[in-house]
Chain A
Amino acid sequence: MIEVKLTDEEKRMLQGERGSVRQTCMAYLVEMAQIAGAERLVDLDGTGDMHAPGINMSPYYSISIEELRELVANGERFAVPTFADKSPFPEQPPIDGWEQCNICSFRQQDVRQDDPAFHDKAMHREEFDLLRKMGMLTSHSCANYLTATYWPTIGQHCSWFESSQIPYCNAVLGARTNFDGSFATCFLGKAPYYGMHVTENRYGTMLIKTDRLISSDLEWDVFGYAVGEAARCGVPVLTGTTKPTTTQLQKFNSAVHTGGAVEMYHIPGSTPEAPTLEFAFGGKKPAEEVLVGEKELRAAYDYLNYHATDEVDMVYLGCPHLNIVDLMKLSVKLEGKKVKIPLWIMTNPWLYNVAKDLGYQKIFSDAGAILMSGACLAAMGAVPEGVRCIAVDTAKQANYVTGCYPEADAKLDVCYGTTDECIDAALTGRWHGEWR
């Protein structure tokens, strides 16, 4: 095991001289550093986020509600701006629209998300009131980077969590994070120094080529999944794409961290640490070149489609949580229409109110669709009763939602395609999607 070198102040925290919570958090970080092989901790100067309340970090390191109350009474704050990256754990209720969320939680038939008593308990109000007093910004989104008016800047050290957020922080913003956002990192403002904090580890390890121009939202999504599969834990450098839109970045980042565990990538000429191809590789030759072309994209598309029927029971849009332009476009497409099957649209809680002000929520509601915020089907671990086939437009949801239904006699089918194909399915109850 590696020996983790601590500063004198960090040692004092570990010995309990700065209170029991700092001691627990420091012990957790030291163990994290040992497992990771990190020789020291780094002081964070960017932002953090965590699955909240998150005071039970592991069976061996947890903070009690009494300790949390005491921190607040003593005026303690998170060391860096800290966001809640999902709706409250572990139930993960929708923040808005829960009244219409007619599903059980993690398939336990006796607990339902639309039960007011369940919802109230699932919101963990006391913990969140305390966390907010410590400065937590309860944005409750897996795509926090789209709720914020405050981002880390290039080179800042962060501690983030959530699949799509990690490559977004590293590749798109040029800030530095490992997948480790937690109460300990955010409260102490420290994280193990390894992985993406270290400049050398951020250079490209693999050149990705393609024989099909990656330009549509679906292409970016499928490409993300296939690149993830090819790159695994590496740092791919992408060529053969257009400059991605924000929606496409959302899709690519979530897909690349579903098909693989890609924390960092480069698009020469587009992402901040890759002004050129040579720069992306740190002046070295690519160790590996991989073609993610028509054949590989088709294979990923076919894998993500998992249905024996074209009869769709429900459509889910909003993985990751939709941005405001996506909501605007959806409102244009749904205005004056009526859905034939349930259509759930998920955004983040802060945008929910914007969507209301802009009139989109009413358009959705008039069309029979439901706007919700903060949650997702896979995170709630269930789909509404009777739904056997669902249509989605993102690889991440397509990949995970079936895991909630592993039994052969309860199998969930998934139709995967473009947003327009999903809207068509919502209006007709049938899947007409195809790879073009």
Chain B
Amino acid sequence: MKTIRIYGRTEFPGKVTAEALVSPMPLQGFTNVDPERGCTTERNHPLFGISYAGKVLVFPSQRGSGGFLKYGRGDHKPAAFIHTVASPINVLCYLQAHVPAMTDFEKDPMDYIETGDIVFVNADEGYIEITKKE
């Protein structure tokens, strides 16, 4: 099966393979995420109410409150974080989550990954591998 490999910068190390959940919009925390249910609660957001638990969460960037770190808390946190651009608030989140996280890719992963694709995140060696869904 054809896979696409993209190199990037490791934020937090580790390896994991899981299904992707892609947010076309930036993600926001504080009241707009519910770690107990594992989903965004931001009104009108494309991922509103959709569980990110155990998924490779793919998004362009974070926006808003430092409460974004709640994405990294609890039993329903994502398996890995993949994003185009980093801010210090992403850093706070991965200090909580301790799961593989990568950013600053040679090519924007948002252009290659769709929800349902299988993504191998190899943050130990600094790349992701995407297997497109059938």
Q: Which residues of A contact B (CB under 8 A)?
A: 1, 28, 31-32, 35-37, 51, 57-61, 161-163, 178-180, 195, 228-229, 232-233, 257-261, 263, 303, 306, 378, 381, 399-404, 406
Q: Is the CB of A1 within 8 A of B13?
A: yes
Q: Is the CB of A60 within 8 A of B98?
A: yes
CA–CA, A28 and B94, complex, Å: 12
CB-CB nearest in chain A for B49: A406
From B12, B41, B66, residue with most partner A Cβ within 10 Å: B66
Can you add 4 more A-B contacts, CB < 8 Å, to A31-B95, A36-B88, A403-B31?
A37-B104, A58-B96, A258-B64, A406-B48
> What is the minimal beta-carbon distance from A264 to any residue of chain B, in angstroms?
11
Q: Is B110 an interface residue (CB 8 A)?
A: no
Chain B residues near A60 (CB, 8 Å)? 95, 98
Q: Is B129 an interface residue (CB 8 A)?
A: no
CA–CA, A381 and B70, complex, Å: 14
CA–CA, A36 and B90, complex, Å: 9
Q: Is the CB of A403 within 8 A of B32?
A: yes
Chain A residues near B12 (CB, 8 Å)? 35
Q: Which residues of B contact A (CB under 8 A)?
A: 9-13, 26, 30-34, 41-44, 48-49, 60-66, 73, 85-92, 94-96, 98, 101, 104
Q: Which of B26, B41, B91 contacts A36 (CB 8 A)?
A: B91
CA–CA, A162 and B65, complex, Å: 7
> What is the minimal beta-carbon distance from A330 to any residue of chain B, in angstroms?
25
CA–CA, A44 and B64, complex, Å: 25
CA–CA, A336 and B95, complex, Å: 52
Q: Which of A162, A178, A261, A401 contacts B62 (CB 8 A)?
A: A261
CA–CA, A260 and B62, complex, Å: 8
List 26 A-B pairs, Cβ < 8 Å: A1-B10, A28-B95, A35-B90, A35-B94, A35-B95, A37-B9, A51-B66, A57-B95, A59-B96, A179-B88, A179-B89, A233-B62, A233-B85, A233-B86, A257-B65, A259-B63, A260-B63, A260-B64, A261-B26, A400-B31, A401-B31, A402-B43, A403-B31, A403-B42, A404-B31, A406-B48
> What is the minimal beta-carbon distance from B81 to any residue of chain A, in angstroms?
11
Q: Is the CB of B87 within 8 A of A233?
A: yes
Q: Is the CB of B88 within 8 A of A180?
A: yes
Question: Assuming A1-B13, A59-B96, A404-B31, is B61 touching A180 (CB within 8 A)?
Answer: no
CA–CA, A306 and B42, complex, Å: 12
CA–CA, A402 and B9, complex, Å: 35
Chain A residues near B98 (CB, 8 Å)? 59-60
CB-CB nearest in chain B for A401: B31
Question: Assuming A31-B95, A403-B43, is B61 touching A261 (CB within 8 A)?
Answer: yes
Chain B residues near A61 (CB, 8 Å)? 95
> What is the minimal beta-carbon distance from B60 to any residue of chain A, in angstroms?
7
> What is the minimal beta-carbon distance from B64 to any residue of chain A, in angstroms?
5
> What is the minimal beta-carbon distance from A32 to any residue of chain B, in angstroms?
6
CA–CA, A406 and B66, complex, Å: 20
